[in-house]
Structure 1
């Protein structure tokens, strides 16, 4: 399920709250996060950075408790990213406004922007703090349990 919305609408806050609620219910949850910002997670000069700069397609950094996989990929889409995840019950994909995957929009009147759902019928519901005036179901953004119920039923 995608989580979309305008900047500062609360996408990350809702995504994190849904992860916690779904994990509390015993589900295995993974997330995908899209950003338009230029992000490099490595410090130049570190071993893994040197591996990648030398041309490695994938670099895995492993500790005793965690691993990070860095992979060179040109504009990876959700379908590709899903192939990289371990089996789980729910995947929440935050930030992909475009696509054919099911999505829920986070909307607040304070953003002073019209809901995306008004012009995008592939958005299945809107989690809002006000009345977004859309045809899709509207869920109370402050009721994470109900949003999780809705998500689990779709």
Structure 2
């Protein structure tokens, strides 16, 4: 399995993306996977791509007021969490490799990525037949498995979208091949 990792992609932790057309159920699948992986002692970092403007702080909150007033970077912190928002001037999409540089690798065993389907890194395709969209596989050679509501006759592992435990097992097996850190869990 690890032979399918693009040679140009380098990161000290296993990185697996979830790519699909909008509405396929990436977020729902990930919300079901995260606790299953966490129950196995895996510390997970997440990166999510958004196709639109978004705010993590709400209007009326101090961080929102200060960011809107002109702070190019707004870091908000408490004893429970911190978040850094950086305003970007250019209109280009951020690169996954640049975002990965922001991950604290000492606090994570794996990075799961939602979106970034055009980037070259290992991905699991989430496919729903009802969307009437084409498969991303085999046009994307970085897809390592397919999660679907159909049983498809393909050469990749094809996992049931309604069985997140099997998807979690696949991820763990994949990561065990890619990382000695996970072998010690």
Query: TM exceeds 0.5?
Result: yes
**Aligned residue in 1 for 2:54:** 39
SS of 2:21's partner is coil
**Aligned residue in 1 for 2:146:** 126
Q: Which moved more, 1:100-109 or 1:36-45?
A: 36-45
Residue 141 of structure 1: CA displacement?
1.4
Query: Take 2:59 and 2:37, find their aligned partners in 1: how far apart are those partners?
Result: 37
Query: 2:151·2:160 contact (CA, 8 Å) conserved in 1?
Result: no
Residue 48 of structure 1: CA displacement?
2.6
Residue 53 of structure 1: CA displacement?
4.3
Query: Take 1:46 and 1:8, find their aligned partners in 2: how far apart are those partners?
Result: 31
Residue 56 of structure 1: CA displacement?
3.5
- Count of residues in Structure 1 that have an aligned counterpart in Structure 2: 154
**Aligned residue in 1 for 2:32:** 17
Matched, 1:117 2:137: yes
TM-score between the two structures when normalised by the length of structure 1: 0.88
Query: Take 1:149 and 1:67, find their aligned partners in 2: how far apart are those partners?
Result: 31
**Aligned residue in 1 for 2:124:** 104
Match of 1:79 among 75, 91, 97: 97
**Aligned residue in 2 for 1:94:** 114
Query: Take 2:71 and 2:128, find their aligned partners in 1: how far apart are those partners?
Result: 43
The CA RMSD measured in Å over matched residues stands at 1.9
Query: Take 1:24 and 1:98, find their aligned partners in 2: how far apart are those partners?
Result: 31
Q: Which moved more, 1:87-96 or 1:55-64?
A: 55-64
In structure 1, the gaps of 5 or more residues are none
Query: Take 2:58 and 2:128, find their aligned partners in 1: how far apart are those partners?
Result: 37
SS of 1:39's partner is coil
